[in-house]
Homo-oligomer: A and B are copies of this chain.
Amino acid sequence: MDTRTGLPVVGMVGGGQLARMTHQAAISLGQSLRILAVAPDDGAAQVAADVYLGHHTDLDALRAFANGCDVVTFDHEHVPVGHVAALVADGINVAPGPGPLRYVQDKRAMRERLAELGVPIPRWAAGAEAARFAATVGWPVVVKAVRGGYDGRGVWFVDRDDPLPEVELIVEERVPLRRELAALVARSPFGQVAAYPVVETVQRDGICVEVLAPAPDLDPRRAVEAQQLAIRLADELAVVGLLAVELFETEAGLLVNELAMRPHNSGHWTIEGARTSQFEQHLRAVLDYPMGDTGLTAPAVAMANVLGGEAGGMPIDERLHHLFAADPAVKVHFYGKQVQPGRKIGHVTALGEDMATVRERALRAARWLREGG
């Protein structure tokens, strides 16, 4: 609690763009997000006042940072669960706690738990059974590192003659999918859950490049099914904060692909596109405030990630000038990162009446910021 303002102190472990955007939301709520950053030029550390420098695998650093926080939460899933449990043992309020966090850190534990819950998932097996499994479902299979993967890292398509990566892994059938969807919900300790409209996510090379809200032409019953699934998972796994459920839509129905328990790329559109942004919602959830309205602010919202372009092109600031001249209504979010080819350096959001138009505007804006026109 900040004794001057009478408002809470939330600590977020990790200084990336999720913390950066959560800080923006915290400011409106009268707070100043406390951030544990690895380096002073981390995206969030550049813009926040209450920054601790330290590594998220260093328990002493975590303890010093957590001291005085009303609640500690995360911008990524790389804090060892044992450290999280140690903080809880110290009496620190951590959200989500070590119980649910385990499932986003260990894909095998997650698959086992989802199977136990009867949730539809791709057919899968643990690493040792990869070959026998592939004989059943057919090569190639999808191989995933049990720990540490994100943004396409730690996922491989493996064919009959390919060697298996030398990490602990699971194998999954390659699902014949129609498209990918994501269902985002937030749950508070009180047990209130709020669900956002289901979105379509478009991936390229394992990286989310586009999000369309609401998912175009989605059968309303299937949308409700996806929301109910996410709500049920938030509840069963006792998530506190956001839960993003990445889904495959197949001819036969929905399958759960991945879970994340933090603000998520598939929810960046909510900053302008929903009455309550995912960042504010995450803060409300971990603070046990009542959840905010998740309604859309426009009939169609499209978000596109901005990737860094090749060195030597038009400077980013000049590209921004051109973009603003071309589309005065597109919203830009930069993450404070140095431009590197292919690196996610920001995102853009377009809102309007018609999905085809907003999608075109968002993609054009993202391409423009990458290539300089």
Interface residues of A (CB under 8 A from B): 1, 4-8, 20-21, 23-24, 26-30, 32, 41, 45-49, 51, 194, 275-276, 284, 289-293, 295, 297-298, 315-317, 320-321, 324-325, 328-329, 331-339, 346, 351
Contact = CB atoms under 8 A, between A and B. Distances in A.
A31 to B, nearest CB: 8
A269 to B, nearest CB: 14
Contacts of A4: 41, 338
A5 B351 CA distance: 27
Nearest to A321: B289
Given A289-B324, A333-B28, A316 B6 contact: yes
A21 to B, nearest CB: 8
A9 to B, nearest CB: 11
Given A7-B317, A32-B47, A49-B49, 12 more contacts: A5-B336, A5-B337, A5-B338, A5-B339, A23-B47, A24-B27, A28-B332, A28-B333, A30-B316, A30-B336, A49-B51, A293-B329
Among A4, A5, A289, A316, residue most surrounded by chain B Cβ atoms (within 10 Å): A5
Q: How many copies of this chain does the complex contain?
A: 2
30 contacts: A4-B41, A5-B339, A6-B317, A7-B317, A7-B320, A7-B334, A21-B27, A24-B28, A27-B47, A27-B336, A28-B332, A28-B333, A29-B320, A29-B332, A30-B334, A30-B346, A32-B46, A45-B49, A46-B49, A48-B48, A276-B328, A276-B329, A289-B320, A290-B321, A291-B328, A292-B329, A293-B329, A297-B297, A297-B298, A297-B351
A28 B331 contact: yes
A290 B24 CA distance: 23
Nearest to A284: B324
A53 B194 CA distance: 42
Nearest to A297: B297
Contacts of A338: 4-5
A7 B316 contact: yes
A252 B50 CA distance: 54
Contact of A275 (B30, B276, B329): B329
Among A290, A333, A338, residue most surrounded by chain B Cβ atoms (within 10 Å): A290
Nearest to A25: B24
A328 B290 contact: yes
Nearest to A328: B293
A372 to B, nearest CB: 12
Given A7-B316, A297-B297, A334 B289 contact: no
A26 B24 CA distance: 10
B32 A334 contact: no
A23 B20 CA distance: 12
Nearest to A331: B28
Contacts of A1: 317
Contact of A339 (B6, B295, B325, B333): B6
Contacts of A332: 28-30
Contacts of A41: 4
A279 B20 CA distance: 18
A290 B47 contact: no
A255 to B, nearest CB: 31
Contacts of A45: 49
A276 B332 CA distance: 11
Nearest to A295: B329
Contacts of A32: 46-47, 336
A316 B5 contact: yes
